[in-house]
């Protein structure tokens, strides 16, 4: 892939997973990227690491296209997952009125301005109830599948089960299903 | 981080891990990125996924800087790891005379043109000898630590042990040490 300064084609989609370090959001993005590649799409993924001393923000962006992705940086998000308040400012400039924003109701007190559709869900609380707050990333992935039409939920779930460590498969399956269910109930409301 | 079209500052460094899908190169890049962030540096990581039906190439690039990385795409590599012939053409345009190119002697029959320093090492063969060809990514990481001054090998090794699954820690430690030793012997030659 050659770096260019062209913006993405209008047919492309852009998705961000963001929160604080250690929430496993890069893995969530990687699972979605792998699942989309299996569906025949091109996906560019990027993330940034700050000096540990600055703490905090973790984010991974996907740019998806039916053609090779010439410009792999997010410019306007179709969807964003925000699991920590620290990640809110970093979204500024990337949000539109029709961005779907999924925010963790227990971790984000002031959602970003801009999107008309902000879906506040108890992501980490749900992970904790299932048995481990560390599967919040997979609860969020299930919720994203339920709230958007980016990918078939069953296909995404199958790739997820292949990419998480074998001994955490059951709890991640439960986490994904809980996130999907929460999202579907919200869709029906 | 805001996307801009500025090239990286001259103080930045760019590193690519590349090969074929399933070789674990994205993890190698992630380990190095995390280790550099612990040393107080900013790191941007990017990778691209192609439709599975096209098979083949996997690559992850790091752009490292002592300031926030404004342009996270590789433009000229300081070092490149190539574990499969399929990854050679994708490096075209990113190589300089002083790029350090580490290539798997068992997997790359025609190394890229350009770099004066091409270090051909039996990366996958070494992983196989240790017990599992899947740790080739960590053999390569150890070799990179031994052939460059990007990061202290002990610091990198410690982060690696934290990021690989617990039950594969021993074999990955052995893989890292074998790669480092191979590289050091090559440095002395």
Task: Tell me whether A42 touches chain B (CB under 8 Å).
Answer: yes
Contacts of B72 in chain A (CB under 8 A): 46, 48, 73
Residue A23: what pLDDT?
A: 87
3-state secondary structure of A179: helix
User: Is residue B74 within 8 angstroms of chain A, CB to CB?
Assistant: yes
- B93 contacts in chain A (CB < 8 Å): 2
Q: Which of B53, B75, B90 sits opposite A40 (nearest CB)?
A: B53
Per-residue pLDDT, B7: 53
How many other CB atoms are found less than 10 A from the CB of residue A23? 26
Report the alpha-carbon distance of residue A49 to residue B68 in Å, rounded: 9
Do residues A109 and A85 lie in contact, with contact meaning Cβ atoms separated by under 8 Å? yes
Dig out the tokens for A54 from the structure.
């600055």
Taking residues A129-146, report their average pLDDT: 97
Quote the pLDDT of residue B2.
47
ipTM of the complex: 0.81
Whether A154 shows a pLDDT value over 60: the answer reads: yes
SS3 track for A82-102: ECCHHHCHHHCCCCCCCCEEE
Closest partner residue to B49 (CB to CB) among A43, A93, A165 is A43
Tokens of B150: 């990007």
pLDDT for residue B54: 66
Q: What are phi and psi of A156, to 5 degrees?
A: -65, -45
Block mean pLDDT (10 aa), chain B, length 189? 50 92 90 93 90 77 90 91 95 95 97 95 98 97 96 96 92 98 84
Question: How many beta carbons lie within 10 A of that of residue B11, not counting itself?
Answer: 9
Residue B177 contacts by C-beta under 8 Å, 6 or more apart in sequence?
B142, B157
Q: Which residues of B touch A61 (CB under 8 A)?
A: none
Question: What global pTM score does this model have?
Answer: 0.84
Which region, left, alpha or beta, applies to residue B70 given φ > 0 means left and ψ of -120 to 50 means alpha? alpha
Residue A71 has a pLDDT of 80
Question: Would you place residue A188 in the very low, low, confident or very high pLDDT band (cuts 50, 70, 90)?
Answer: low
């Amino acid at each position: 892939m050659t770096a260019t300064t062209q913006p993405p084609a209008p047919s492309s989609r852009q998705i961000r997973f963001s929160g604080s370090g250690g929430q496993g959001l890069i893995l969530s993005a990687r699972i979605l990227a792998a699942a989309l590649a299996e569906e025949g799409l091109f996906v560019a993924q990027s993330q940034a690491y700050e000096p540990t001393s600055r703490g905090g923000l973790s984010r991974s962006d996907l740019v998806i296209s039916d053609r090779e992705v010439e410009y792999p940086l997010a410019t306007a998000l179709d969807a964003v997952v925000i699991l920590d308040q620290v990640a809110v400012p970093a979204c500024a400039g990337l949000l539109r009125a029709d961005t779907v924003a999924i925010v963790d109701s227990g971790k984000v007190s002031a959602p970003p301005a801009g999107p008309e559709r902000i879906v506040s869900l108890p992501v980490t609380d749900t992970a904790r109830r299932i048995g481990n707050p560390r599967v919040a990333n997979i609860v969020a992935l299930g919720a994203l599948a339920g709230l958007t039409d980016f990918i078939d939920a069953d296909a995404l779930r199958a790739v997820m089960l292949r990419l998480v460590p074998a001994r955490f498969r059951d709890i991640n399956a439960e986490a994904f299903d809980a996130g999907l269910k929460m999202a579907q109930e919200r869709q029906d409301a």
